Amino acid sequence: MTIHIQKIRKSFGAQEILHGIDLHIQTGELVALLGPSGCGKTTLLRLIAGLESPDSGDISFGSDSVVRVHARDRRVGFVFQHYALFGNLTVFENIAFGLRVKPRSQRPSESVIRDRVEGFLKLVQLPQLGRRFPAQLSGGQRQRVALARALIMEPRVLLLDEPFGALDAKVRKELRRWVRQLQQSLKLTTVFVTHDQEEAFDVSDRIVLMNAGQIVQSGSALELHDSPSNDFVHSFIGDSNRIRGQITGHAFRSAPWHYAVNAGASSAGESSEAAAAWARFRPHDVELQHFSKGVPVEKGLSARILRATPMGALVRVELLPIDASPQDVGADVLDAEIPRSDFDRLGLREGDLVSARLNRVRIVTASDTTAPRAQ
């Protein structure tokens, strides 16, 4: 079942939470709505479920517009962050709930209900726990019950609201792999909300990154990481460094780092006035050389190694501007990730002076960050 979301707007009181969302989700696709808290991702999910109604815009499943359909008639499955299991009912009765509240003419017989619930208890790997109450289960088990309760209704789409957020790290990882496998075997169109990018990368086919009530970029984890559409994506996805400087014409300069680069046809325009700007780059796009072996290399910045921490095949190096002292509390610090072999070959140590060559630098001006919000 495809989901088409068109020009959805939603306000709570005077504050608009969603500023016109367009999103199309393919049948069987597993989409993660990712973004910082307050970006509107949960509101969007609740709008798809029918728990909120939009101020304007349309939502359809396949060719059916559901925007005026009550939540109980939308045939969606919804899993809440805090499970929302019925505490006064056993696990069995929780899963059977949706079947039991059907109108009498459509309600399956008691024996059919029993068979189907037993089947779903097996599917979510809790065959022996039907008689327990939710309070007697662990967090991971509760979330499996919540999934079974949603799936037994054969929903057209499955919606998960931070489903692993309340679980501890190990259970979270196991459960999300399992949910992914289950989703693949059922080929069920699924949307899940998360603020954890690792989780979004790990589980989804596609990530829809949201910020301040808008979709900022949508694509695979690699696309978002390697070709961020703006500075927000660059800073939100993966690790990111930022050094402050000024742009004059095409030239970006950062005095504390003794760094200059040609910004190319930047969006700053051709103004010859100096404007505040910053350079953004990933820690693994930094190459180090000894500073003492001659003049700084082309496009390199000058720095002192503050700390070097081994991390498996990499060494994480913290860099300080060459003129700043380590006691300088407010000083900028950069992270670089250098292959362990390179680090050892150069024989680098803490306190050494280095030139750092930056491979993929993005020059950002203040107007770049505000641009996507002004529509």
Partner 1 sequence: MSSVSRQHRPAPPLGLSRLVLTGAALVLVALLLLLPLAAVFVEALRKGWEAYLAALREPDAWSAIKLTLLAAAIAVPANLIFGVCAAWAVTKHRFWGRSMLVSLIDLPFSVSPVVAGLVYVLVFGAHGWLGGWLQQHELKVIFAVPGIVLATIFVTFPLVARELIPLMQAQGPEEEQAAAILGASGWQTFWRVTLPNIRWGVFYGVILCNARAMGEFGAVSVVSGHIRGQTNTIPLHVEVLYNEYQSSAAFAVASLLTLLALATVFIKSALEWYRDRSP
Q: How far is the CB of 161 from partner 1 (least distance, A)?
A: 10
| CB nearer partner 1, residue 134 or residue 283 | 134
Interface residue with partner 1, options 19, 28, 60, 71 (CB under 8 A): 71
69 binds partner 1 (CB under 8 A): no
Q: Does 78 bind partner 1 (CB under 8 A)?
A: yes
Question: Applying CB under 8 A, which part among 75-83, 200-208, 273-281, 282-290 lies near partner 1?
Answer: 75-83
Tokens in use for 167? Answer: 């679980």
Binding of partner 1 by 72 (CB under 8 A): yes
- 74 touching partner 1, by CB under 8 A: yes
As measured in angstroms, the least distance from the Cβ of 359 to partner 1 is: 48
Q: How far is CA 140 from CA 183, 191, 375, in A?
A: 17, 19, 42
**Residues 130-149: x/- map of binding to partner 1 (CB under 8 A)?**
---x-xx------------x
- Closest by alpha carbon to 280, among 342, 236, 248, 318? 236
- The number of CA neighbours under 13 Å toward the Cβ of 344 is 6
Cα gap 168→27, rounded to integer Å: 31
Task: For residue 86, state whether it binds partner 1 (rule: CB under 8 A).
Answer: yes
Rounding to the nearest 10 degrees, give the CA dihedral for residues 183, 188, 189, 194. Answer: -30
98 lies in the site for partner 1, by CB under 8 A: yes
Total binding residues for partner 1 by CB under 8 A?
28
Take residue 136 and report the two structure tokens written for it.
Answer: 């007697």
Given a contact cutoff of 8 angstroms between Cβ atoms, the answer to whether 241 and 335 are in contact is yes
Site string for partner 1, 16-55 (x = CB under 8 A): ---------------------------------xxx----
Distance CA 257, CA 279 (A): 11
> At 370, which helix (H) or strand (E)?
helix 366-370
Query: What is the closest distance, in whole angstroms, from the C-beta atom of residue 317 to partner 1 in the complex?
Result: 47
Compute the least distance from the CB of residue 29 to partner 1, in Å.
Answer: 21
- Binding segment (CB under 8 A) for partner 1, from list 54-62, 70-78, 207-215, 265-273: 70-78
Question: 13 or 294: whose CB is closer to partner 1?
Answer: 13
Q: Hey, what amino acid is at 99?
A: L
Chain position carrying tokens 């017989």: 109
Is 339 a binder of partner 1 (CB under 8 A)? no
| Residue with Cβ nearer partner 1 (167 or 215) | 167
Edge-first strand order for the sheet with 30-34 is 76-79, 157-161, 189-194, 30-34, 206-211, 214-219
Name the segment binding partner 1 (CB under 8 A); options: 77-85, 279-287, 309-317, 346-354. 77-85
Applying CB under 8 A, among 97, 173, 297, 335 the residue interacting with partner 1 is: 97
Binding mask 146-165 for partner 1 (x = CB under 8 A): ---xx--x------------
CB of 349 to partner 1, least distance (A): 50
Compare residues 94 and 302 and give the one whose CB is closer to partner 1: 94
* Binding status of residue 84 toward partner 1 by CB under 8 A: yes
What six digits make up the tokens of 181?
A: 């496998």
Rounded CA-CA distance 16/220 in Å is 28
Dump strand ranges (E) for the chain. Answer: 3-12, 15-25, 30-34, 56-61, 64-65, 76-79, 157-161, 189-194, 206-211, 214-219, 241-248, 251-254, 259-262, 275-281, 286-290, 300-311, 314-321, 334-339, 353-358, 362-365
Distance (Å, whole) CA 228 – CA 157: 29
Q: Are 279 and 268 in contact (CB under 8 A)?
A: no
CB 1 within 8 A of CB 27: yes
C-beta of 82 vs 187, nearer to partner 1: 82
Contact flag: residue 88 with partner 1 (CB under 8 A): yes
Q: Going residue by residue from 100 to 119, which x/- string records binding to partner 1, judged by CB under 8 A?
A: -xx-----------------
Binding site for partner 1 (CB under 8 A): 49-51, 70-74, 76-78, 80, 82, 84-88, 97-98, 101-102, 133, 135-136, 149-150, 153
